[in-house]
A and B are shown apart, each in its own frame.
Chain A
Amino acid sequence: MGQALKLDIPVQISALSDVTTRIEEFCDAADIPMASAFKVNLVIQELVTNSVNHGDFGGREPEISLSINCDGRQVEMLFEDNAAPFDPFTETPALDLGSNVSERPIGGLGIHLIRSFSDQSSHEHVGGKNRIRLVSPVE
């Protein structure tokens, strides 16, 4: 049987703890093994952090919402915010993984982790909202 979770997330870093707890409860209920649950939690945390830190809400009341579905084989995540259109998958440069510790830039890691831990990732801007869809396998 499928499991689903829907959340409206306050647009602040302090919301991360509560979001994490809700996702952990969801993953437990959906019987998702720890390593896969970790990846789901990680990519959501990175998305929320990006919206909070970098989203341009331009005077609008900031909104973030999340829905997660699991059919036992994969987890589908739909993440929406009402910030200005921004596609993290095309507008963020690829990370230079080869550089050593002194040269390594501090930023860009979050999107890299989202890409790395999702089988599918896409962005569209519809109805005034950024909608990011991610699919992660249950392993």
Chain B
Amino acid sequence: MEMKSTKEGDVLIFEPEGRIDGTNARDVETAFLDKVRGGELVILVDFSEVDFISSAGLRVLLMVAKEVKARSGRIELCSMRDYLKEVFEVSGFNAIFQIHEARSDGLESLS
């Protein structure tokens, strides 16, 4: 999968595309952790181009969140389709991640 990232001020915006599931979880995790270990500790994940996430994808986000938190960083999410938001809600991940409606809300929260 494509894993674009851009920097806006101190915030690193991740823009995964397509699916985050068992077929690519390891690649996505590596992409995230490389950035975190490289010192990017304020992260917004923009879900506007993501159309599928499974428990393997949630697991990656949880591991990244643990790593970010261990370094006193922040990670928040934005622009998620309703049916994906439901996955976060039933998994209790909405208590772990702030999920913003729009990218601008996420940037405001993290800046």
Residues in A lying within 8 Å of B, measured CB to CB: 13-14, 16-17, 20, 34-35, 38-39, 41-42, 45-46, 49, 95, 97-98, 100-102, 104, 106-107, 109-110, 112-113, 116-117
Contacts and interface: CB of A to CB of B under 8 A. Distances in A.
Contacts of B90: 112-113, 116-117
| Size band of the interface chain B makes with A | 20 to 34
A109 B83 contact: no
Contact of B91 (A16, A49, A113): A113
Contacts, number: 70
Contact of A109 (B23, B63, B91): B91
Nearest to A17: B23
| Majority secondary structure of chain A interface residues (helix, strand, loop or mixed) | helix
B38 to A, nearest CB: 21
Interface of B: 19, 21-23, 51-52, 54-56, 58-59, 62-63, 65-66, 69, 82-84, 86-87, 90-92, 95-96
A99 to B, nearest CB: 8
Given A34-B83, A95-B92, A104-B96, A14 B23 contact: yes
Given A42-B87, A106-B62, A35 B82 contact: yes
A39 B51 CA distance: 12
A98 B54 CA distance: 20
A9 to B, nearest CB: 13
A113 B96 contact: no
Contact of A112 (B66, B83, B91): B91
A40 B90 CA distance: 16
Contacts of B22: 13, 16, 45, 49
A113 B66 contact: no
Contacts of B63: 106
A38 B86 CA distance: 11
B83 A98 contact: no
Contact of A38 (B52, B58, B65, B95): B52
A42 B54 contact: yes
A37 to B, nearest CB: 9
A63 B65 CA distance: 36
Nearest to A106: B59
A139 to B, nearest CB: 10
B29 to A, nearest CB: 12
A101 to B, nearest CB: 5
Contacts of A113: 54-55, 87, 90-91
